[in-house]
Structure 1
Amino acid sequence: MPGPGPVTVGVLLAAGRSERFGAADKLLATFRGVPLVRHAANAMASAGLTHRIAVTSSGDVARLVDPLCDRVITQASAAMSGTIRTGVEHARELGAERLLLVLGDMPFVTAAMLDQLVARCTDDAPAALTDGARIVPPACFPSGDFDALSALRGDRGARERLGRLPPSACVQVPCPALVDIDDQAALARWDRAG
């Protein structure tokens, strides 16, 4: 249950085209016994968020995550920036003061990591995960960044903004936590990994 802090809306970004994965939708692929997208959705559902939204281009993904979200938006497949814009729009409708962006293809992100991101985010600066070498989503943004997020174009998301974060704005996690599944080989490799 969310505490008395800022209204925080989690957005599960699950509308990508999965082109490197092949013809199948990677988010529906079985990973450690459940569809890949359910790992990130479960983490978001267990985190202390005020609201949870999923943005997807797949009716099958929408049905999988619907029980875990307050709102599921199905839209045509879009670049990452279009999915983020949709999430920002709906988060604003819910009165968001913080926006937590979670990628649907990152199975090792936990609710505890998401809660740490929300706690690290301030009114003036976002927070993101790092393994010490890379700074990547999930990331939590204050409302002052919503216009910039809505202005993003292309498939890079907020990578440039996150790359400029100081170490104090990052939550350190083990390297495997930052794994995202892009292709069949990665799915098989990480599904077998202990």
Structure 2
Amino acid sequence: MIEPETTALILLAAGKSARFGLSDKLTETFLGQPLGMHVVTALDAVPFARRVVVRDGVQLDYAARGYHEVHNSRPEQGLSLSLKMGVEAARGPGIEAVLIALADMPRVTAAQIHRLFEAATGPDSVVASSDGVHPKPPALFGANRFDALETLEGDAGARDLILAGRHVVTHPDELIDVDTEEELDKLMAKFGQVRGRLES
């Protein structure tokens, strides 16, 4: 098992949100806080050795929540660039793994993160979450995978590594990834909320 105390959390919060419309999806209010802060709150109690966020222009103060902020000024180059920047910032003495999480997945739980740690066996580990059909983040990568993460290109990110790794199934609702206004509307409706829209 890999321990949280030797793991760096990398939160990916950079992206053009081109499918979302006029607003920045991470600043949309959901259950009383910005969408992009839910995973931060959920993972507050997990004792990571280091917390890194890769962001672009999003107006959320991750530094105030204990994150080292890395600015990605070229999010249009794809998810792989953010991954590379995050791993570069996370590397350091005693770091044996990185846990990759996405800021637009507001229902992630600490319980699922601990299940990923329990499934990891060492420095070659790749352990991803799954809804029972598709593996996806959050995902844990042992130190022997750092070089591979830093050489990825394009918008597929670590998809091939994740597909070949171990998968820990959890309820699909925990792994909702908000990419469009319709997806956010559907999620909010589950909690009796209705979102106001910006006028075009």
Alignment TM-score > 0.5, same fold: yes
Q: Distance in 2 between matches of 1:4 and 1:146?
A: 17
| Counterpart in the other structure of 1:178 | 175
Task: Report if aligned partners of 1:10, 1:44 keep a CA contact under 8 Å in 2.
Answer: no
Structure-to-structure mapping, 1:89-168, within 5 angstroms: 89-93=88-92, 95-123=94-122, 124-165=124-165
> For residues 46-80 of structure 1, what are the alpha-carbon distances to aligned partners after superposition, in whole Å with 9 as ceiling and x for unaligned?
2231111111002512x1x2222341122214221
1:22 — aligned with what?
21
* 1: CA distance, partners of 2:58 / 2:93: 23
Q: Whose Rg is larger?
A: 2
Match of residue 72, structure 1, among 69, 94, 100: 69
SS at match of 1:105: coil
Q: Which residue matches 2:9? A: 10
Q: Which has the higher helix share?
A: 1
Q: What SS is found at the alignment partner of 2:146?
A: helix
The verdict on how the C-alpha distance between 1:94 and 1:14 changes in structure 2, with shifts beyond 3 A counting, is: farther
Return the alpha-carbon distance in structure 1 between the equivalents of residues 153 and 29 of structure 2. 31
CA drift of 1:178 comes to 1.3
Q: What is the match of residue 188 of structure 1?
A: 185
Is contact 2:5–2:48 with CA below 8 Å preserved after alignment?
Answer: no
AA aligned to 1:12 is: L
Alpha-carbon RMSD across the aligned residues, in angstroms, is 1.8
Q: Does the CA contact (< 8 Å) of 2:27 and 2:58 recur in 1?
A: no
Q: What TM-score comes out, normalization by structure 2 length?
A: 0.87
Aligned length: 187
Residue 42 of structure 1, CA deviation: 1.4
Same amino acid, percent of matched pairs:
34
Alignment of 1:75-86 (within 5 A): 75-78=72-75, 79-86=78-85
